Every structure is written in structure tokens, then in C-alpha cells.
């Protein structure tokens, strides 16, 4: 099993635990798009308690990569993802977090 496969399996386990439906192809493509940061322990998780981290996700992922328009709906999307994974869950895996954002913003076509 490759490192990518291992990372995707971890993500699928988190999604199953949180009862999040999984499109495995979409999840894998999102994980691939993260490049080497996927394998860095610190970078592979989202620090949802840090406002600067959430702003970076909004600017670099949602606006630049997904092509979303800046506005309050992006903040709502981020909060929905935090709630879905669980506010008390300290290990919010980045691919799962991004997966929820992609689904919420209906931007799956960016990862086909």
C-alpha cells in the first residue's frame, strides 16, 4: 500500500466514524492535490481553533483553488465542516475537511 493509500484510508476511517458519506475518487483526488504536505503530521490536520488557519484555508483553498467568491457563505461552509467533523475532534484531517468544503460549495468538478 502506498503512502497516499494509507492517508486516504485514515481519512475514510474518520469519515466513517463521523457518518460522512464518502466519494472515494473525490477524496483521493483532493488528497493528491495536497502534495507532500499530506504526509507532514502538522500540515495534514486543520487547526480549526486558529483564526489565521481558517483564513488561509478560505483564501488559498476556497477562493484561489476552488474559485469561490469571498463572502459570508465561505465562513458558514467552514463552520459546517468543523461541526461535521466534530468541534472536539482535535485531529481534523485536511483531506476530509477540504472534501466537506468542496461538497458544500458544489465544486466537485475541480477534482475530476
What mean pLDDT do residues 26-45 have?
95
pLDDT at 27: 98
Share of the chain above pLDDT 90, in %: 96
CA–CA dist 42, 8 (Å, integer): 16
The pLDDT tens digits of the residues spanning 97-112 come to 999 999 999 999 999 8
pLDDT at 1: 76
Q: Which domain holds residue 25?
A: 3-111
Render the burial of 50-75: b for 16+ CB within 10 Å, e for the rest.
eeeebeebbeebbeebbebeeeeebe
* CATH number of the domain bearing residue 84: 1.10.238.120
The pLDDT tens digits of the residues spanning 41-70 come to 999 999 999 999 999 999 999 999 999 999
Q: How many domains does the chain have?
A: 1
Amino acid at each position: 500500500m502506498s503512502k497516499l493509500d494509507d492517508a486516504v484510508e485514515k481519512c475514510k476511517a474518520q469519515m466513517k466514524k463521523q457518518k460522512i458519506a464518502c466519494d472515494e475518487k473525490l477524496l483521493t483526488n483532493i488528497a493528491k492535490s495536497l502534495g507532500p504536505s499530506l504526509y507532514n503530521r502538522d500540515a495534514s490536520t486543520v487547526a480549526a481553533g486558529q483564526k489565521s488557519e481558517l483564513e488561509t484555508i478560505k483564501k488559498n483553498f476556497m477562493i484561489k483553488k476552488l474559485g469561490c467568491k469571498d463572502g459570508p457563505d465561505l465562513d458558514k461552509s467552514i463552520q459546517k465542516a468543523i461541526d461535521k467533523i466534530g468541534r472536539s475532534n482535535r485531529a481534523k484531517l485536511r483531506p476530509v475537511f477540504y472534501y466537506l468544503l468542496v461538497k458544500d460549495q458544489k465544486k466537485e468538478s475541480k477534482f475530476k
